[in-house]
């Protein structure tokens, strides 16, 4: 287990909680992530990977939306720099 994962609040939680049917973030998962000491690291990891389920308190759809926004911002910055 990666070191930061060993400090997470979800390390001893049933992983199935993070893979519910599509829909809004379950409150139980939100509460687990909100009090997690490695939330920031987990967020960067989740955005770097393309996994399914909830991670860092975000659904896959929310993470995809952040990635699209990030790509658009980078493209805009590259256009304005050239
Ligand atoms: S932020 Fe949530 S998913 Fe990420 S390690 Fe912490 S508890 Fe687990």
Which of 12, 20, 32, when mutated, tests ligand 1's pocket best, judged by the most ligand atoms within 8 Å of its CB?
Answer: 32
Domain range holding 36? 3-81
Calculate what percentage of the chain has a pLDDT beyond 90.
Answer: 68
Whole-angstrom distance, CA of residue 69 vs CA of residue 64: 9
Which of ligand 1's atoms lies nearest the C-alpha of 46?
4
Whole-angstrom distance, CA of residue 7 vs CA of residue 59: 21
Task: Report how many domains make up the chain.
Answer: 1
Calculate what percentage of the chain has a pLDDT beyond 70.
Answer: 93
| pLDDT reading at 24 higher than 80 | no
**How much distance in Å is there from the Cα of 76 to the middle of ligand 1?**
31
- For the segment 41-66, the average pLDDT, to the nearest whole number, is 93
Sign of CA dihedral 73, 60, 33, 30: positive
């Amino acid at each position: 287990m990666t070191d930061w994962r060993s400090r997470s609040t979800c390390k001893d939680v049933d992983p199935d909680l993070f893979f519910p049917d599509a829909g809004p973030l379950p409150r139980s998962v939100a509460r687990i992530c909100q009090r997690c000491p490695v939330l920031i690291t987990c967020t960067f990891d989740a955005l770097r990977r393309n996994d399914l389920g909830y991670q860092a308190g975000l659904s896959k759809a929310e993470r995809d939306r952040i990635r699209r926004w990030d790509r658009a911002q980078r493209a805009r910055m590259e256009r304005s720099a050239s």
